[in-house]
Amino acid sequence: MNVHAILCWVLAACTLVLAGCGKTAVSVSQQSLPVATVAIVMSSPTPFPPTRTPRPSPTSLPTLTSTLEPTPVPPTATPVTLTYVFPVRGERIEYSPYHHDYPATDIFCPVGSEFVAPTSGIVDFVNRVDRWNPATNQPEHRGGLAVAIIGDDGWRYYGSHLSAVAEGIEPGVRVEAGQVLGYTGNSGNARGTPPHLHFGISRPTTPDDWAVRRGEIPPFAYLQAWERGELLRP
């Protein structure tokens, strides 16, 4: 066998092999191969309600009730109206600005002239017994029968050498301006002098403080004003 023949045989053999291979390949391509199919179901998203800023629900405000009681205001004190009158009611009255060694005024008048409260106030001192003795001349007894009041203006008014003290006049009794306290005379160390009322003005101390009670400030200017009807206050 020559080379030409050999080549022809080889070509024929290759042709047969190729033909078998081609048939097999066609068969495979035509078979239905199982295909794994993944079904992806795209579900639509659940819709969310639109976002809203929450509004506070209206609430009723609590009623404010005060538990505090108002502070009671004390009642305003009624202002005191001061009235002044001349302390002797009678006739033939004489007095002067001069007195001896301490401030006071002797108001000369007939025995039994009325000694009246020069202003409203409270009775502070009463002496109904004449204890003066010229032999001993005790200073606390020199005024004889006497009455003193503490006026609503805060001053003490004193009258002595009385012949009598008016009924009902006692310490602590309230009297009004012009009310009769006693009657003028010459008791005490005024026995040898013309009858008169010893009148003194002083600050309040104690009822038995005769040294202050008899007079601390000159009363002459006030007596003149009261005699004219003027309300001059010490």
Q: What is the CATH number of the domain that holds 126?
A: 2.70.70.10
Distance CA 113, CA 162 (A): 9
- Compute the average pLDDT of residues 55-84: 61
Is 161 within the bounds of a domain?
yes
pLDDT of residue 81: 87
Could you tell me the pTM of the whole model? 0.68
Is 180 within the bounds of a domain?
yes
Closest CA to 144 of 98, 195, 95: 195
Per-residue pLDDT tens digits for 15-37: 444 444 444 443 434 344 343 33
Is 159 within the bounds of a domain?
yes
Closest CA to 144 of 214, 89, 93, 204: 214
Backbone CA torsion sign across 201, 97, 90, 197 = positive
pLDDT of residue 9: 54
**Of the ranges 22-36, 51-65, 186-200, the best mean pLDDT one:** 186-200
Per-residue pLDDT tens digits for 176-187: 999 999 999 999
The domain tally of the chain equals 1
Distance CA 175, CA 124 (A): 11
Is 123 within the bounds of a domain?
yes
pLDDT of residue 69: 56
Is 49 within the bounds of a domain?
no
Range of the domain at 161: 101-227
Is 2 within the bounds of a domain?
no
Is 135 within the bounds of a domain?
yes
Distance CA 231, CA 106 (A): 21
Distance CA 230, CA 78 (A): 23
Q: Where are the alpha helices (DSSP H) in the chain?
A: 3-30, 210-213, 220-227
Per-residue pLDDT tens digits for 61-72: 555 554 555 556
Q: CA Rg, the chain, in Å?
A: 66
Is 91 within the bounds of a domain?
no
